[in-house]
Amino acid sequence: MTRGRNRGMRTLTDSRGILWDMDGVLVDSGEFHFAAWSAVLAEYGIPFSREQFRSTFGMTTPGTLAVLCGERLDAALAVEIGERKERAFRDAVRGHARPLPGVTGWLARLQRAGYRQAIASSAPPENIAVLVEALQLGGYFEALVSGFDLAGKPDPALFLKTARLLDVPPERCVVVEDAVVGVVAARRAGMKCVAVTTTNPAEALAAADVVVEQLDLLPADTFECLLPAGEIKPCAENG
């Protein structure tokens, strides 16, 4: 899934982009994913622990299955399991998804300030569509980009593709993430990163520029500090 819209010409030098991961950043969907994985994998006799969930959260579904099962699954069975898991997730999350604290306020504030915003998620396109509709956040994003068919995080392919769609140089982008692999991918893309401790503890996300418990606790000048329009300002210390 790649959806974008042109909002007129602007120079690359004055463009600033915010790339939002979805699960664990815009919405606390982790428990829905864990329940879907656990139920489906149990039917195939594949064990699945909380630790395995934390270590694979943020990866694509095929990437998760590769970590869990290695070469034990043939391609057709992996597709079957993945499709069943994602259907179970979408069925569970409909009517229950809510934006995490601070999300709507930051999206509106950044939009008013002229930042170009996109969702850049490893989730299948159907999941992105369901959650954006459920959260009623579609009006804030210039692109909805799924990395489902790209190299998975920590590869930076998803973030680099999203920056191209926004017409914003990587060094003028901030990624908002909650997964360790997402923070690594942002760094490899040459982007700044804000990490939220929805899924992982702060120490696991220490490679990010800013780590915060939830978005409504971010200082008001966080994004201006990371991507200054003019004079460079010192950022608050990580943590």
Domain residue ranges of the chain, discontinuous segments joined by +? 2-28+97-226, 30-93
Per-residue confidence (pLDDT) for residue 167, from 0 to 100: 97
The CATH code belonging to domain 2-28+97-226 is 3.40.50.1000
In the prediction, which pLDDT does 28 show?
Answer: 87
Question: How far does CA 61 lie from the centroid of its chain?
Answer: 14
Give the model's pLDDT for residue 3: 64
Backbone angles phi, psi at 218, to 5 degrees: -70, 135
Instruction: Look at domain 30-93 and name its CATH class.
Output: mainly alpha
Taking the C-alpha atoms of residue 23 and residue 80, their distance in angstroms, rounded to an integer, is 22
Contacts of 101 (CB under 8 A, 6+ apart): 214, 215, 216
pTM for this prediction: 0.82
Alpha carbon distances (Å) from 103 to 40, 41, 127, 167: 31, 32, 18, 23
Weakest mean pLDDT among 10-14, 108-112, 114-118, 231-235 = 231-235
Q: What is the DSSP letter of 23?
A: B
Give 3-state DSSP helix, strand, coil % of the chain, rounded to 5.
45, 15, 40
More confident residue, 202 or 62: 202
- The pLDDT of residue 9: 46
d(CA 221, CA 226) in angstroms, rounded, equals: 9
